[in-house]
Amino acid sequence: MKKLFIFAAAVLFSGAMQARNWRINNLPEAKADFLSINAAMASADVVDGDILYLDPGCHLPHQTITKGVTIIGNGFNLRSNEMESSVVSISVDSKNVVLRGVHINEECSVSSSSTGFVIERCKVGRLKCKGPFAHIASCYITGSVWTDSAFPSLRLYNNIILGTVSGISYGIIKNNVIVCDPGSGNYANYRCVYDVSNSTIIDNIILNTNVSEVYRQQTIYFNNDYSSGNDIKGNILSNDADHVYADHPSNSYIGATVADVFVNEGMYDELYRLKEDSPAKGAGYGGNDCGPFAGMYPYVMSCRPKNIPYIYEAIVPNRPTDNKITVTVKAKNQDE
């Protein structure tokens, strides 16, 4: 009997420790668990490891994450009548925060204490990451990605980034599209990628679209030679032959333009699909394609969180049959 009691207590304790799921919707009539992420953070019921789901159509102002939770939105660039959820901006101030399928209109800012940050399949205005060991994969980022090089190990995989990337040390930049116009004097030396050291930069498409031929043809790397400890290979670059470091012989193509590489047609992320004759096809290190549609975390258009079921059709009759209303729901699971 004593052993049975101990076993039962252990089962109850383990059940109490399991992650709980919470709904977030800013509309009171939706009767969700919380009206905002901030309200969930203020609740003693929400603890590290819990999962917060943003309802479709949920729109929130600035939110601050202070617990190690996972937040799951319903994706972005959805090609149907489904409503996307969105957050104006997010500050992350906790360890082990995960964001998946969240649309962040302006900025995601990650504090120096926020180790283990993960953001996947999200749309973000710009990303400022001071925390070490951050993982950013398969995101559409319309502004800059910046980190404090004093905090190493930023991992950038399979993202489309329409801004500069800077301040990374001991990181990985792999299978990304980085297309930007640094302007005149707004960023260091008019480069799209700069202040990167001791990092792996491989199988990317990095194009400087500055209208000045002088700036576009200059190397897009600043402080990125082998003396800075970087391993740079298999990339498609907009540099011309006179402005590529001699010790970067394994970059696959130089002098590339947007018109050379991409189809440049369709929805905003479809623009960056590779043309049939794109120099990025098969040009990566080991014969893989360069850019976000190959590699470890392939970018998916009409993007939803992976392996999260979603309802794409609901049939609700106007009147009951035999005093019952039968609702037919059709769901899918984005498993790619």
pLDDT in tens, 75-112: 887 766 667 889 999 999 999 999 999 999 999 999 98
Where are the alpha helices (H) located in 162-291, listed in sequence order?
A: 213-217, 258-261
Q: Which two tokens stand for residue 145?
A: 């990605």
- What is the predicted pLDDT for the residue at 14? 44
Classified as helix, coil or strand, 43 is: coil
- What is the predicted pLDDT for the residue at 222? 42
Alpha carbon distance 73, 123 (integer Å): 10
- Is residue 50 within 8 Å of residue 34, measured between CB atoms? no
Nearest to 134 by CA among 125, 146, 126: 146
Alpha carbon distance 163, 167 (integer Å): 13
The DSSP symbol for 259 reads H
Residue 133 gets the label, from left (phi > 0), alpha (psi -120 to 50) or beta, of left
- Is residue 102 within 8 Å of residue 70, measured between CB atoms? no
Chain-centre distance for alpha carbon 133: 15
The CB density around residue 54, as the number of other CB atoms within 10 Å, is 26
HSE-CB at 31 with a 13 A cutoff on CA atoms is 0
Alpha carbon distance 189, 186 (integer Å): 9
CA angle 182, 184, 189 (to 5 degrees): 70
HSE-CB at 288 with a 13 A cutoff on CA atoms is 19
User: Nearest 5°: phi and psi at 71?
Assistant: -115, 125
Q: Which residues of the chain have pLDDT under 50?
A: 1-16, 186-187, 219-220, 222-226, 246-247, 312
